[in-house]
Structure 1
Amino acid sequence: MVTPRRGELLGFATAGLLAYATDLALFSYLRGPAACDPITAKSLSFAAGCTVAYAGNALGPYRHTRPRGLRPYTVFVAVNLAGALVQLFCLTVSHYGLGLTSQRADTVSGAGIGMALATVLRFWGIRTLVFRDEGRVGSWTG
């Protein structure tokens, strides 16, 4: 098993933090002033965060890979959708299952706990399935 290098992890984390900030800010706005329901708000904020994450990873830690065609973006979206399902599951359990319906509870469950669990899944999927060019493995020194 090839372990990630420090630079790769730092780049992934940076792109992820930018995507997270985008997701959280939009989710908070949509749940607050825009008065959207939590599932719609999370779905829209996810789409914005996913776009930021792809650009950040493609231009950052995985810029030396040469993925071709639409496949990398399609798989990236699929991996992020799997992560979004984890987030939505956490939000659904908290909001509808446990009855924790405040904006703060929705933020903690969807953008906190759900995001943490989804990040582990996303790192594995992006590294393994999207940016897996042979040229990347062991060649990026960060």
Structure 2
Amino acid sequence: MSEGRRPRLGGLAAQIVKFAAVGGVGLIVDVAVFNLLLLHPMPVAAWPMVAKVVSTALAIVVNWVGNRLWTFRDRRRADAAREAVEFLIASLIGSGVSLLCLGVSHYLLNLTTTVDDNVSTNVIGLLAGSAVRFAAYRWWVFAERGDQTREAVKVTTTVAPTP
């Protein structure tokens, strides 16, 4: 291998690395918004769940854009609306795992500090939910399909007919 050339990660490994990077950006959005909302003194018992739903919704948008334009760029569909709906469904299922962890921790186990809420949803829930989301994105939302359903990402050239 010549100097200056880096080895390329192949297929699944490259997707996992890109997925993790995009997810990291989404995580920053999710955690920041979640904690900012927790600072607001709401007199509602369900406030941590409401804050998590709002922060998760924003993170889903960030993650769809990143995964569509980078992680699964060569597999994205021409029908972006359908892809977005499937991505949302897969994201909500994965996010449900995180919300379930928060709900069990906060309401069943009575671990109610900000640290407890963050560990349950942004560590335990994140790891479990990420595995679910990656599988759904790779094998459903951005699954290999025939060329007719994929968005053209290659530049095509036209050749003038010869006289």
Question: Which structure has more RCO (C-alpha within 8 Å, separation ≥ 6)?
Answer: 1
TM range (shorter): 0.7 to 0.9
Q: List alignment gaps of at least 5 residues for structure 2.
A: 1-9, 148-163
User: In the alignment, which residue of structure 2 is the partner of 1:79?
Assistant: 90
Choose 1 or 2 for highest CA Rg. Answer: 2
Q: Which of 63, 72, 89 is residue 53 of structure 1 equivalent to?
A: 63
State the percentage of identical aligned residues. 33
Q: Which of 21, 32, 53 is residue 25 of structure 1 equivalent to?
A: 32
SS in 2 for 1:5: helix
* Aligned-residue CA RMSD (Å): 1.8
Moved over 6 A (4+): none
Q: Which of 11, 32, 35 is residue 41 of structure 2 equivalent to?
A: 35
Q: Which of 70, 85, 88 is residue 99 of structure 2 equivalent to?
A: 88
The one-letter code sitting in structure 1 at the alignment partner of 2:123 is G
Q: Is the 8 A contact 1:65 1:135 kept in 2?
A: no
Q: List alignment gaps of at least 5 residues for structure 1.
A: 137-142
Counterpart-to-counterpart distance in 2, 1:56 and 1:35 = 33
Q: Is the 8 A contact 2:68 2:76 kept in 1?
A: no
User: In the alignment, which residue of structure 2 is the partner of 1:64?
Assistant: 74
Give the TM-score normalised by the residue count of structure 2.
0.76
Cα offset, 1:135, TM superposition: 6.9
Give the TM-score normalised by the residue count of structure 1.
0.87
Aligned residues: 133
Within the alignment, does 1:97 sit opposite 2:103 as a pair? no
